[in-house]
Amino acid sequence: MSVLETKRILREIKFLRAFNHENIVKLKDILNPIPRAYFKELYMVFELMESDLHQILASGQELTPEHIQVFMYQLLCGVKVKREVGK
């Protein structure tokens, strides 16, 4: 893992810890690798969700305009929060 990748991961962790919004998944914990000398992976624990957007889109379920409206609203709320925290 490069220094640039490590910095990006650290930035995302800081953002996720700062967020407290219903449209952004919550970071619950980060598991430390054991032993640290072999650190190559990072495991992050998020709150349990019933499904995610990928799962819904891959299900083949026909999406109504109301579905799309709700998804877009949630995405835009999440982007707005990220933009406000990033200032």
What DSSP letter does each residue of 59-73 carry, written as one string? TTPPPPHHHHHHHHH
Residues 6 or more apart whose Cβ sits within 8 Å of residue 78: 21, 23, 24
Q: Which helix (H) or strand (E) holds 31?
A: strand 27-31
Global pTM? 0.61
What SS3 state is found at 82?
A: helix
Q: What is the pLDDT of residue 66?
A: 93
What residue ranges in 32-87 does DSSP mark as E strands?
Answer: 43-46
What SS3 state is found at 27?
A: strand
Q: What is the pLDDT of residue 65?
A: 94
Q: What is the pLDDT of residue 61?
A: 87
pLDDT tens, residue order, the chain (87 aa)? 688 988 998 998 998 888 887 778 889 999 877 777 777 788 899 998 888 888 888 998 898 999 999 989 988 887 887 666 655
What are the structural domains, with CATH classification, of the chain? 3-85 (3.30.200)
